[in-house]
Structures are given as C-alpha cells and as structure tokens.
Structure 1
Amino acid sequence: MTAGVVFSQNNNEGNEKGISIGLRGGITLTGGNTTFPANTSQGRPVEFKNDQDGMGLGYVFGGTARINFGGLFLQSELNYGQFKLKQKNAQTFSAGGASVTNNINSVSTMDAFNIPILLGTKLGPLRAYVGPSFIFVTRAEQKTTGTVNSQLGGVDLPSISSEGTQDLLSSDAGDFEVRPFIIAVEAGIGMTLPMGLEADLRYSVPAITGVYKNNDVKGFLGILSLSVGFRLAKLGM
C-alpha cells in the first residue's frame, strides 16, 4: 500500500503545472581521446595521439528552475563544475636511424560555469530530457608526467623526464588552447523520489563548438554526471 501511494503521488507530480526551484549536486566522470595535428613549430613532427587513461573524477553543483506544463517541462540550471580528463601518449617516432618513444601521462582540469537549457517529458516519476549546454570556462590547465626515451643507431640514449603544468586558456598552449566558451549537448534521465528528492543521470558532449580553438584537433570527449537534487519551492501557475 505504501509503494502504491508513493507511485500515485509521483504520477500526479508528472502531470503537475507550475515552477519548481531546487538545488543539485553530484559527481562528473570525464573520458575521451584526442589527436593533435603535426606541427614542427610546437615539437610535433607527426600527429600526437592521446588515448584515454581512465575516467577523471570531478564534481558539479548548482541551482535548477523547472517550468512544468502537463507531461512536459522546460528546465534551466546554473551549475559550477570541475571536469578532469586523464590521457596517455605512448608513441614511437622513427626517422634516419633515430627513434623517440613517449611514455607521458596527462591530467587536464577544467573549471566552468554551466548553463543547460533542457526540454523534457515525464512518465510518472521518470523524466527524460535533452538540450544545449553553455559552458563558460574559468580555469583550464594540464599537468604532464612521464619520460621520453630515445635511440640513435640502435644505442639507447639517456631518458628525459617530462613534467610540467600548462595554462590551457593561454595562447602559449598552442594547439592545446581550449575555448573560453563551449556549447555542448546534454541528454539524461531522472527520477522523482519522495520528500522532494530527485536523482539524475546525464551525458554531455561538446559537439557544437568542440573544446579546442584549433579545429584540426580531432577526437571525442564525453562527460557523465550523476547528481541528487532537492526541491526547495514550488510555485503554482
């Protein structure tokens, strides 16, 4: 009987009208790969292929406003989040009897304000939605660690350590410079829970503008987020 009452309440909420205001917070998991074009002026005689090196853990929190009209809704949010991309480069380049092997790991961290505008539909306690997300980057940097090993005529040369931090919002980053304003696409599903709580699982891809200023940089980046929300107020219409 309790389960039936809860479902009935949530089903009524699925058909409600009005404005709901709330808070949300959770974690982000970022993954992807990137290929940077050859650029001898930046020390890349050939393409650099960075593979995913596990999922980077970040966070997201912010406020939501949802306009309900029957079984549909329009939701806007103001979030602040951190996204971490973990990658590795393990390539060997050979030319003229010499070879160079990279063994470099990198962690790129981006802090940003995120404003999604989502259109969704409801089915009882469930929600599904999709829409654009406008990302305003406040900080972006990349930390690298690893070694570069070389051979000349079959003879091993001393390894060179590679370690440093690069500001990715600066033109000094070259082809690694990221856009200060990124437009992504978000899609997700959510569930309305008792006591004004909500749970959401969504996926975001910066498919409209891309992440890097250089459009010749190729690859894929995806952000998975899991969040819990709480409805603070409901205004009737």
Structure 2
Amino acid sequence: MKRLALAAVVLLLATTANAQLLQYGIKGGINQTTPNIDNFKAGSYKVFDDKREIGYQFGAFARIKLLMIYVQPELNYSVQKSSVSITDNKGATSDGVKYEVSTLNVPVLFGFKLGPVRLNAGPMYTKNISANSAFKNFDGYKYSLNGSSWGYAAGVGIDLFKMLTADLRYEGGFGKQATLTGAQNSISVGKPGNVSLTVGIFL
C-alpha cells in the first residue's frame, strides 16, 4: 500500500511538473498589412499605397517554460490584405485594387514573462502559398510569388485565467515577396510589414 501511494505521489508530481513546463493551444485573430511597394514602378506602371485592409490568421502554438523564460514555436496560416492605387500604361489610375497574399508562418519566439505579462521576439520562416495580386495584370511583366523567406516577429502578450492568452505582435521580413520580370528589367516586391492581434486558448 505504501509503495502504491508513493507511486501515485510521484506520478502526480511528474504530471504537475510537465504541465508547468509545457503548454500548448490554438489561436486566431486579425492582422493589418503595410505593403512594401511605396512609389513602386514597373515600366510605365506606377503603384502607390492606398488602404490597409483587415486580414485574418489562425494556428497552433506550444510553450516551453523555465521559471520566467520561455520558448514558443508556432504554426500559423495568415491571409494578409491591402489595396493599392495603380496608374497603368495609358495614364489611367485605378484605386482600391486588391493585393492579397496567403502564407504559412513558423515563428520561434524567445520570451520573458513577469506575472501575466510577456515580452517576446524571434526569427520567423514564411512559406508563401498564393497571391491575388494587383501586379498580375501588368502587360509585359510576369508576376512570380517567391517560395519562402525569413523574417522576424516581436511583441507583447498577456495570459488570463490560466486558459486564455492574447498577443499584439509586429512581423517584418527580409528580402522580397515576389518578382516582376519584364523584357527589359526585373523588379522585386518587398516583403510587407504586418501587425496582428490574436487570442488563444490553452488545451
């Protein structure tokens, strides 16, 4: 009986320790994207930032904790939306042209937690999935969405009631998101900046 009780206590302590060290859950929210295309030119075409739109994202996360320090890898599907103004090769300007890109993002965040408040930052890998791009209709230019790129993420968060978590985050990138290839030149479309607000649930 004593051995059985001891085994039960050891199992309970091990389960509690694992729960304190590892958490995981699902999350979702909204984002707002700033296209990196200010005063963009392709031949006689010109593109200007017009309006930031609200996109969405959802995914899963895990959090490995050690005292006040933690590591949090995530897997998120994101749809980033904006609209731009385009002056075409005939001089006509179209406003509100949609620019939408779907991505799969894998940030690995290193954070510090003090009470319910968290600070975190880390690298992020992005896999570009598809694009509904305003650039696809440029005569004489071929639009090619890059396969993947690297960037970074940084933000603040808060945990509430031992089951909810919320994050406000900025995500930036290095390099280009897409390429426009013409007969005379090749032009890069920079990776946009992205601000997101998400709410998650620990499972």
Please indicate, yes or no, whether the TM-score normalized by the shorter chain is above 0.5: yes
1:54 aligns with 2:51: yes
1:17 deviates by: 4.7
Partner of 1:71: 68
Equivalent position SS for 2:133: strand
**Deviations 1:100-154 (CA, angstroms, capped at 9, x unpaired):** 533123211111211111111111111111111111122112248xxxxxxxxxx
For residue 68 of structure 1, report the CA deviation from its aligned partner. 0.6
- Match among 81, 93, 97 for residue 103 of structure 1: 93
- State the alpha-carbon separation in 1 of the partners of residues 28 and 75 from structure 2: 11
Q: Secondary structure at the match of 1:177?
A: strand
- Relative to its length, the structure with more strand (as a share) is 2
Distance verdict in 2 for CA 1:192–1:80, change over 3 Å: same
1:212 maps to 2:178: yes
The RMSD of aligned alpha carbons is 2.8
Which residue in the other structure is 2:111 paired with?
Answer: 120
Count of residues in Structure 1 that have an aligned counterpart in Structure 2: 177
TM-fit CA distance, 1:213? 3.6
Whether 2:125 is the aligned partner of 1:134: answer: yes
Between the two proteins, what is the percent identity of the paired residues?
30
Q: Matched residues in 2 for 1:122 and 1:129: separation? A: 9
Are the equivalent residues in 2 in contact too, given 1:76–1:116 (CA < 8 A)? yes
SS at match of 1:101: coil
CA–CA separation in structure 1 for the residues paired with 2:199 and 2:146: 29
Task: Pick 1 or 2: higher relative contact order, CA cutoff 8 A, min separation 6.
Answer: 1
Give 1:177's aligned amino acid.
S
Q: Paired residue for 1:184?
A: 151
Structure-2 residue corresponding to 1:8: none
1:225 paired residue number? 196
Normalising by structure 2, we get a TM-score of 0.76
- Structure 1: gaps spanning 5 or more residues: 1-15, 39-43, 94-99, 145-165, 233-237
In structure 2, C-alpha distance between the alignment counterparts of 1:228 and 1:193, rounded to whole Å:
11
Q: 8 Å contact 1:33–1:51 — kept in the other structure?
A: no
Q: Which residue of 2 aligns with 1:27?
A: 30
Q: What is the DSSP-based 3-state SS (H/G/I as helix, E as strand, rest coil) of the residue aligned with 2:92?
A: strand
